[in-house]
Each structure stands twice: as structure tokens, then as C-alpha cells.
Structure 1
């Protein structure tokens, strides 16, 4: 397949998802609510950390109490910056996962709406609530950990002069988008009994450029504060559309009994 056409087709999937949810304004606003709640929670946590940062750093470095003022300030200043940067990093990486977890019923409803509108969706798999929640938490934690590793590696690569300034952002965008796509397609894959992350990766690999064409722009849009509030419902719908394209529905053949005649005689017409 043409990579350029596939990339633009992937972006078109996001636009199609947006068109679907905009036709349901109430559902669109409901889908934006979890992202807004997560944004406000993270902002409140960051402000709380900043307000109490001095006391927290002083508590964590009692050994520096008797140090010279210059060295004490350098140590505690570096630790303060590191704590703030680490907190922001964790929030950026975990934002999508936390939002999808908080809004799971809403986003499942959006995915179900997309399935109904496009037609041909199978019935949801019969899985107990406890098993489903445990599996979702386990998979989400794994994705967050991988995201943290990728982000740290990209940051370290970015420290390399010249070349690193290009490799770091590209790696972050590609890997971050790929992991985001794994999360956004979960509902449609689960409905079809493909419950493992490896299942999603395998089918995404069959149309890698299309998956990235959808996921990378979505990743950048979700990284913009509060823009993500409006993008999340469209991204959820787009993820369902993409999953359907990766897993095309098999048309059902008409059933015939062994004894039936494949060419039944026509019913004679009554004379006028």
C-alpha cells in the first residue's frame, strides 16, 4: 500500500470519528468530561506540589541542614526542579490512561455507537466485571511503564548535539502515538474476543502507516492542555473505526441445507 495514502487515510479516520461524535452533541460533551476532570485533577496536584515543594525538599534532605548556604541551595534547587519535571512527565505519560480509565463507561458507549452506526458489529464478549477491570488495569500499567521508558530514552537521546534534537522528538511522537493507538482500539478488539495487547499490536502491524497516520496527530493534539478535552471523544470514535479497518468483518454466507435445491423452481403466476 502507498505509505503516503495510508498516512492521510489514518488522519481521515480521526476526522470521521469527529464527524460521528459531533452528530451526537450530548455524547460528545459527556465524552469530554473525563478528560476535563483528569486535567483539573492533574493541575490541582501540580499546584499542590509547587506550593509545598520547599518543605518537601527540606524534609527529604535533612543531611544538608548544616551545609554551606550555597551548596545547600544548589542541591535543593536541583532536587526541586527534578521533582517538578518528574511530576509533569508522569502526568503527560499517564494522562491518556487515567482519562480512559475514569471515562471507561462513556468511551465504551461511544465505541458502541460507532459500531452500531457502521453496522456488522459482533455482540460484546461475556466477561465478568472483575476480570475485565483487572485486565484493563494490568494492561494500562504496562503501557504507562513502557511510555515512561520511551520518554526517558527520548529525553536522553535529545541531549546528543544536533542529531539528538531530531531523533528524540521523532521517537517520542512515533512510540507515543503507537502506544496511544493500542489504548484507543481496545474496545473494538475486546468486543471481538481479542483481549491481549499483542493482538492489537499484531493487527496494527499489518497497516502500520495507517495506524501511525491516525495515532501521531492524535498524540500531538492530546498533548495540548485542555485541547485534549475536545479531542478525546473523536479519538475514541476514530480508534473504533481504525480497529474495524484492521479487522474487516467477514461477510456471512447465506445458509442452505444439504437437501435444499440451490435453484428452486419459480412459483407459477396466476393467470390474469
Structure 2
């Protein structure tokens, strides 16, 4: 039996052929090489499988299933992981070479930290830099992240590394699509877990016509999505009798989202 790697990289793929090869190349070129790469093909109908199978690297473990959605695919990858830590990445983003090394060292040196993210920079289809995410750069300590989360997401999903037992205790919820990540951060923060970031840019986050991020941005009223995300989160907390001060702030953020969403709708109709 092979020894367990330090890191399990969970890479879900759904029709990602256009950008998949640079993503995998960047992962395999990491300075921290003690990892397994779990590529989970969620029923792709393009050339994704051909690209995945073209790599002979023994660190790659390939899984595929009929299309079942993002949450199911992530949870399957988490269930298959053998590493101490799980690193997330999407099929169109690019890790800088030292990402895994720096994030794993952060968790090794800070046993009380449950999740560590990093700063990101946006790139387009051609790989050209398009700017940074202000909320990302402004919130990187646990205190700053907890302060922001009830009102806005400030953690880039494909840039996190998490202790494996944490992800297994908090599976992704299909009921929260397409904001499964925001719901995850709320649940982790509500449970008192510590989330921080390596305050360095370690991920190039691609935004393009087919990306989930851009599809959400283009929605006429994303505030309704955040309102419903927080409403479902709070309903789950209430059903377990676990409401705390963080949840009260989430309730305030939910009310703000609803008012903003209604205001946007009225403005669009005028």
C-alpha cells in the first residue's frame, strides 16, 4: 500500500477541455510534490477525458461518473482523498508554483487553523491579467474574514486548503447551488472554525464566458441568491438549536441582501 500523501488535490471537471491542460500542468509543477491529484469528471461531453488520460503521472487518480453536479463531485473527491490536507482547484484556474508548499506549511505551523486560502488575481480567456478582488485582499485574518462573511463572500473557493477531517464533517450542500462555497464558509464560521489566508497571490482565477463565476455575476440580481443562501443556512442552524452571535450578524446580512435585491428590481423596472 502506498503511503498517504500530505495533500489531496480535488479537481472537479465538467466540460473543461479548453483550459484543463494548463491547470493540470501547474499542479504537477508545484514545489511541494507530496500530493495526489484527484480528477473527478462530472459527465463531461467534450475532450476532457482525453486530456486527463494523456498524463502518465502516477500522482493522478482519475474518477468519472454521469453528470451529478458540483456538490456531488466535490464530496466524492473529498471521500476518496487520502491526504492530511485537501487543496481545491477548478479546471480553468492556475496555481502559482509555491501555492501548495506555502499553504501546507501554514497549516503545519498553525494547528488551530482549519482552512487557509490565498490572494487571487483575475485572468481572462487568454491568460491576461484583469485585476484583483478587493474583498479578497482586504480580508485575510480570521477576525477580518469573520467580520465580513455575514455580509459578503471574501474567500476564493479554488484557492483554499483545508484539513481533510473538516471537509468530511462539513460536506457541500447541493441545495445551496450555485453558492455552495459561500454556504460552506458560513457553516465553518458559525461552528467557530478558524479560516485565514496566506497573504500572497498564489492563484490565477480565470473568468470567462463559460465560467460559473461570470455566470453568477451576469445574473440580474445576485443579492437574491445570497439572501436565499443565508436563509437556508440560518434555517439549518435554527433546526439544530445552534444560533449564536455570528448567526445574528448573518441574519442582518440576509435582511440587507433582501432590501438590496428588492431595490435593484424596482430600479430595473423604472
Which TM-score bucket, shorter chain as reference?
A: under 0.3
Provide TM-score, normalisation by structure 2. 0.25
Largest Rg, 1 or 2: 1
Q: Which has the higher helix share?
A: 1
The structure with higher relative contact order (CA 8 Å, sep 6+) is: 1
Q: Which has the higher strand share?
A: 2
